[in-house]
Amino acid sequence: MSRYAISDIHGCLKTFRYMVEEVIKLKYIDRLYLLGDYIDRGPDSKGVLDYIMKLKQTYRVYALCGNHEDMLMKARDNDLYLTSWMFNGGKEALKSFRAESIKDIKSIYWEFMEDLELYIELDDYLLVHAGFNFAIPDPTKDRHTLLWAREFEVDRFKLGNRRIVHGHTPITLNQIKFSLNKPVSKVINIDGGCVFKSRMGYLTALNLDTLELLTVPNREDV
């Protein structure tokens, strides 16, 4: 059994599928942890959600909520969030759903997003989309930090022997590799900015057992 973590797919279905099927070659005994931001900006948000739901029928796939899923859910009842979501990739997402407005998105996708967890706690890792607020007694209770934080200070006593793996803030492959090579690094960001082809443009998968970093350049134009 191997455990993998992937974050920030952002509608890049071809790249995601290639990672799962051709690079990871996911097996039933493996575990795949997805750290949020499946939608927006890229060409096929709907296709990514469909593929995740299909994977969950056969494989051990655990999906977290990202800030883009959070924005979309809040946009249903809040015009400010709707404006923000549309500006941050919502237009591309609606196009993939062939929807004129978010009210046209089918219920199966709302149900999927509403069921997403905010974090996953393993014996050796804490998995989250953005970060944890260690300034409060229970860092898992600050929803905003879990989904939106760009920076956070780690309390090593509360963290213990675990490491934090997150996405949300796109960085270069060299920055990801640097953090993996630091022997005392407690925080690993695996957002390779897949959708930002001109600046970063990589989807990454981290093997949580070996710390091997698997990479696929954006394949949406292939």
| Angstrom distance (rounded) from CA 44 to CA 49 | 9
Q: Could you give the domains of the chain?
A: 3-217 (3.60.21.10)
Contact assessment for residue 148 and residue 71, using Cβ atoms and an 8 Å cutoff: no
State the virtual CA torsion across 27, 30, 34, 40 in degrees, nearest 10.
Answer: 0
Residues in CB range of 217: below 8 A, 6 or more apart: 15, 201, 202
**Contact in structure between 37 and 9 (CB atoms under 8 Å):** yes
Q: What is the pLDDT of residue 182?
A: 79
CB atoms within 10 A of CB 21: 11
Distance CA 126, CA 59 (A): 21
Is-above-0.85 flag for pTM?
Answer: yes
Q: How do the pLDDT tens digits run along the chain, 222 residues long? A: 999 999 999 999 999 999 999 999 999 999 999 999 999 999 999 999 999 999 999 999 999 999 999 999 999 999 999 999 999 999 999 999 999 999 999 999 999 999 999 999 999 999 999 999 999 999 999 999 999 999 999 999 999 999 999 999 999 999 999 999 877 789 999 999 999 998 899 999 999 999 999 999 999 998
